[in-house]
Amino acid sequence: MSSQSKVKGSISGGDVGKLVSAIKDGLHSEWAEYKKSKKVPSQSVCVYAIGGVSDTAVAALASVSAGVGEWEACLVTTVDPTVDKNRGVLASEVMVGAEGQVTLFPPRKQPNSEGGDSSPGSVVSSASKLPGQPVSLPGSRKRPLSPKATLMVTLEQSANYMLDHIKRLCESAYSTNNFRAIILCLASAVLVRSRLNAYKEILSQPVSKNLTSTLARCGEVVEFLLQSALSYTSDLLHSALLHDAQSHDWTSKKPYGEGCQASLTLQMWAFYMQGVRNDLWKHTSPRISESILASILTDTLSLLVTRYLQIDPSEARLPQYRADIIAILTVVASLLPSLMPSPVLFFSVRLHESVALPLHRRADLLLKLAAIKSAPIELLAKVFSKGFQQTPENVEDPSTETEEECPIRITSTPAWLTFLNPILFPAGKSSLRYLSDPVAVYLSLLTAASRPQPQFPLIVRGLLMRGSLGTKTLLGGLQDVPGQVSAGNPCGGPLCQPHLCAPPLIPHTVYAAICQVLVQCVDNVSALSNIITPGIKQTAVWDSLDRTQVWNLQRPAWHHALVQLVSPSVAGVVAEVLSSVPPQPPARPAHPSQLSVRLEHHLAAWTLQLLAGAGTEAAQDVPIPVLKAAVAINALLPPTIKPTGGHVITQLVVSALYAAVNSRSTLDQLGGTPVTDGQWDMMIAVGERLCSLHDGSYDTPLRQMTHALLAQLEGCDDSGEEEDCLDDYTDEEVVECVCISLANAVLSTVQGQHALVVVWEFLRRNMEWVQEALGVPAILPLTSDHPQARLSFTPTPPTHNPLHYYNRIVFTLLDQESLMNFPADWEGVLLSDLGLPGSTVADLVSRRPEFCTNPAPTLTRPQTVAMRKLKRLLETEAEEAEEKQ
């Protein structure tokens, strides 16, 4: 069944008294269906759910998800989340969509009538019709409970039924090797636990013994399911996926795959790890998914280190061995951003700070062992010319010796990352501030795009650091890109936030979202103008700014962004005008093709009210950076383009008014109730007048509006010097705190929340394009030509498509030619501190194919000389070992 499948059973309709029975019916129905088909239906929850985002599952069992939906319905009838319609519209509550439509959050309701506080159409239970009146549970002689306490007790009871169902289903799924069912059971248990904790805070009830017991049981079930998932994946990898007789015949005299590819097992390992990551990202909570993926990666990497230590490849299989090592390091490096909260952990990490430390240690050990076993033998003879025991004289960088002596932290770039890509991970760096601008920005955006949930402070950092290089790069690439609105729809889960879930992705919305973040984070009012004006001047597309084009929504991306930034300021003005519009026209016209004089008078009055309100109330709320940008653009206009009111800023405000007036969904939102057909017809007529303001009838209010808008610039600093709010800080902890503060400022408005979500969704689909736009190499540098990456605005990220991520790991292409022809710096690895005893190094060298006598290897003259030198050193090492014994 699909993720949209429904569970058969009764619906409580928000009645607390029917909650337990409705949930039990759904659980029993799902179990009966599972026994017949052995299939587990799932249903979305929402990655943007309010309340414990890092612990809220993205999807769950359909019965559990439906049960949580029942919980939410009862919560709404107990704690009404809507706001009063009579309260004015705040700009911070307004979200503007791709076509200019307005959405308000939180939702609004009509003023309450005589009975109760419920919003129209809601079904209120007997326990919540009178909020202040306590109720008693059936069969109880104790003091009656309040509605909130009653709901909390009912939640505890139903949660225990859910846990029983989850455990029963998981035991059956584990016995049949149904990994998807195990993951869904784990996600469901995590969801139950996170929602109970959230409701405990929302309802503000004392923590009872029963609630504590239920939460403890949730923890036990989560731990049991977590171990089950880890056990299943580890057994599968160890017993099946990492075995292939043909590619593991290391003593063969023939090269594998004609010497053109790495081992098939590693390709399948990368494919499986990508699939596991996608399943975890799409179902479980972010915290749990990171834990599982990190455990699987650490476990399999330990297995691979042990396996490749024991392998003694033949001379023909040495290229395959080297390619395998590069492939393993590439997979680990590509998955690291998914497991790290900050790109700083690429370079500096402490024990218990992240899962990165054990991965760094294992990858570094694998590289050192591989260097001894597969580096050209001439290099070994050169490096170990004085013996296999390393001394400070034959170690190139003695500073790394202290790092090896401290097993609980890494203070600079791990050697294996530098070996893999010295441009992205230069040696000896401990922080992002020591990297070049494009590399620092790329690693920040890469980490943000790889995470299972949006990390808003990291997105802000990637956009604003290094003189807003990320912002300039993205806006430059989006400026002239054609695109269509993706067909994404909200997930429809019980905790779905429709204004954030599946936002429409087109170049215009992404451009506007980046501008929104810039305006709310950067104090310099000229920053927006300085960044977008050069691109606008270069494209020279001005037609949309003409006063006759107010109705035209086919605007350039920068024009759309400026209108979207203005729209929240005019929403309140439109709401005031709408409140004065009667349900039906005030008078019928004499002829269907004409308007009555009385109606004409009203339409003119409403239009004047819109323009006057935009010139007084809205003028104070229009962001100053938008005014600055409008002034700069107005100075670039050719003489043939005449904007409304004689200025670009007036054109932008009128366009925002028209977009709001011409959208019925916007009017429904602003009015609190659906507008009537009569109101809709009259607002369309008002919109037509906004499109014909150039006829001279409204010149006076337009001049007043223009004057009021430009008056906001008086006293503003117009230095034009762009300030960077991040690069002045050198301490990483301070930078993180500043980014958190800036992200909270953006998240304080609904439009800001929408903007950060849009940027995150864009990055998840286009990191390869971002990498090329910034001019930095991929994690695995490509040695062959490949098609240039294209912008993607698909409803789901391409990495969720198995046909896309074959021979690919997250955002890195596992190109076989690049793996085989990798320019490895084996000498640098051998000259570093290997951290191995001399006897171990000698043993590894003695097992190389050059020392094999049956069959005898085919060596060149330099290889023969090097082998003889090493052979003498091995004999000396053996004699010293005998003397010690």
Alpha carbon distance, N-terminus to C-terminus of the chain: 69
Please indicate whether residue 718 or residue 383 has the higher confidence score (pLDDT): 383
| pLDDT for the residue 728 | 82
Cα–Cα nearest to 194, from 595, 494, 560: 494
- Report in angstroms the alpha-carbon separations of 25 from 5, 151, 165, 196, 642: 16, 19, 12, 21, 66
Give pLDDT tens digits for 836-859: 888 888 888 888 888 876 766 778
Cα(503)–Cα(485) distance, integer angstroms:
9
The partner residues of 35 in beta bridges, in order of sequence, read none
Cβ neighbors of 554 (< 8 A, separation 6 or more) are: 544
Contact 270, 208 (CB under 8 A): no
**CA 799 to the chain's CA centroid:** 13
- Report in angstroms the alpha-carbon separations of 857 from 673, 875, 877: 85, 20, 23
Type of residue found at 348: S
Contact 468, 437 (CB under 8 A): no
Share of the chain above pLDDT 90, in %: 28
44-48 average pLDDT score: 81
The answer, yes or no, to whether residue 9 has pLDDT greater than 60, is no
Give pLDDT tens digits for 663-685: 998 898 888 788 998 889 888 98
Cα–Cα nearest to 309, from 325, 333, 298, 293: 325
Give pLDDT tens digits for 801-837: 777 777 889 999 999 999 999 999 999 999 888 888 8
| pLDDT for the residue 449 | 94
Helix (H), strand (E), coil (C) string for 699-744: HHHHHHHHHHHHHCCCCCCCCCCCCCCCCCCCCHHHHHHHHHHHHH
| pLDDT for the residue 874 | 86
Structure tokens at 425: 């991970």
Highest mean pLDDT among 192-196, 540-544, 586-590: 192-196
Burial profile 422-457: b = 16 or more Cβ within 10 angstroms, e = fewer: bebbbbebebbbebeebbbbbbbbbbbbbbbbbbbb
Q: To which H or E segment does residue 405 belong?
A: helix 399-405
Cα(20)–Cα(71) distance, integer angstroms:
10
CA atoms within 13 A of residue 885's CA, in its CB half-sphere = 6
Cα–Cα nearest to 723, from 438, 485, 509, 528: 528
| pLDDT for the residue 514 | 96
Backbone angles phi, psi at 207, to 5 degrees: -75, 115
| pLDDT for the residue 511 | 93
Type of residue found at 400: T
Q: In the chain, what are the domains? A: 1-102+145-241 (1.10.357), 247-445+800-826 (no CATH), 572-722 (no CATH), 836-884 (no CATH)
Give pLDDT tens digits for 184-215: 999 999 999 988 888 888 888 888 888 889 88
The answer, yes or no, to whether residue 692 has pLDDT greater than 90, is no
Backbone angles phi, psi at 663, to 5 degrees: -120, 115
Residue 352's pLDDT band, with cuts at 50, 70 and 90, is low
Give pLDDT tens digits for 271-311: 889 988 988 888 888 888 988 999 999 999 999 999 999 99
Backbone angles phi, psi at 813, to 5 degrees: -85, 125
Please indicate whether residue 12 or residue 751 has the higher confidence score (pLDDT): 751
* Lookup result for tokens 């953006």: 746
Burial profile 342-353: b = 16 or more Cβ within 10 angstroms, e = fewer: bbbbbbbbeeeb
332-357 average pLDDT score: 85
Cα(328)–Cα(576) distance, integer angstroms:
63
- State the chain's mean pLDDT as an integer: 83
| pLDDT for the residue 109 | 62
386-411 average pLDDT score: 58
| pLDDT for the residue 3 | 35
- Report in angstroms the alpha-carbon separations of 172 from 35, 158, 179, 541, 765: 9, 22, 11, 63, 37
Contact 789, 772 (CB under 8 A): yes
Least confident of 271-280, 315-324, 419-428, 848-857: 848-857
Task: Judge residue 298's burial from the number of C-beta atoms within 10 Å of its C-beta, 0-12 exposed, 13-18 middle, 19 or more buried.
Answer: middle
Residue 390's pLDDT band, with cuts at 50, 70 and 90, is low
419-437 average pLDDT score: 91
Type of residue found at 19: L
Cβ neighbors of 636 (< 8 A, separation 6 or more) are: 533, 536, 537
The answer, yes or no, to whether residue 139 has pLDDT greater than 60, is no
